[in-house]
Amino acid sequence: MSRVTMRSAFISVAVTIAGLHLVAVTLAALPPNRYSDATASRTGYLEPYFAQNWRLFAPAPVAQDREVLFQGSYVGDDGTARRTAWVSWTGVELDLIRHRLVGGRAGYVTNKLYGPLSQRYRGLGLAQRAIADGTDETAPPSWSELRADLSAGGADPVRVRTYVLYEEAAARLGTEVLEARTGHELTAVRYRLRAHSVVPYAQRTGSEVERQAARPSPTQRESGWRVPTTGGARERDAVAAFDRRHR
């Protein structure tokens, strides 16, 4: 009987310690708030473990919020060029990830586009960047014309080809998103890349006002105007349905 009692006591103590540890880990892992701030003195023992595991499993963590937005141009009733509001497709996609145990692959499209769009743009020379950024809103060049303009002057054909490839992918998504959202027949489309770095680690324990004040200002880049591009009917319908469900 005493053996069973000792065993039960040991199990109870072990379960209690494990439960308290899980609560401490949860409080320590939460974004800074009044509860995590109040328990900071009791969860400080976890910091060495978190630091070690962070370096092991996430050696290059994402330290900024990234967003891809689209804007279209169309001809108004008076015959003048009008612009749609900026639409954050990243914000729509995040609905498929937030508050879900398992996110869908459709929630990562613009996240996967962000890096290549930035890298391919930086791979162009200054003259090519000026051409890419200076396209006409009322008469954007076709993809073959854009490729030819960028290739003029001895530019690296591989860099030009991969740059145009990702620009076309972004324009295709942007066109389908905006036409489904606004119903306008677009004459041009462009995207904006926006990055907002997180609060510096040293200021993470401040108040909400202090954390926001310490957060760096966002940076952004807008592409030139691109010719509207779409896929097949099934693709357009899928984009429109996704937008209705998650915006």
> pLDDT grade, residue 23 (50/70/90)?
confident
Integer Cα distance of 229 and 189 in angstroms: 9
Domain ranges in the chain are: 6-52, 62-246
Tens-place pLDDT, residues 180-228:
999 999 999 999 999 988 888 778 788 888 888 888 888 999 999 999 9
Integer Cα distance of 143 and 134 in angstroms: 15
Tens-place pLDDT, residues 74-111:
999 999 999 999 999 988 888 777 766 555 555 567 87
Integer Cα distance of 194 and 219 in angstroms: 6
Choice between 23 and 124, residue whose per-residue pLDDT is larger? 124
Choice between 112 and 59, residue whose per-residue pLDDT is larger? 112
Which residue bears the tokens 């960047």?
A: 129
Tens-place pLDDT, residues 36-82:
566 666 655 555 555 444 444 444 555 778 899 999 999 999 999 99
pLDDT in the model for residue 38: 65
Token representation of residue 236: 């357009």
DSSP code per residue over the chain: -HHHHHHHHHHHHHHHHHHHHHHHHHHHHSPS-HHHHHTHHHHGGGHHHHHHHHHHH-SS---EEEEEEEEEEEE-TTSSEEEPPPEEHHHHHHTTTTT-SS--GGGGHHHHHHHHHHHHHHTS-HHHHHHHH---SSSPPPHHHHHHHHHTTT--HHHHHHHHHHHHHHHHHHHHHHHHHH---EEEEEEEEEEEEPPPGGGTTS-HHHHHHHSPPPEEEEPPPB------HHHHHHHHHHHHHH-
pLDDT in the model for residue 1: 45
pLDDT in the model for residue 126: 93
pLDDT in the model for residue 52: 45
pLDDT in the model for residue 29: 62
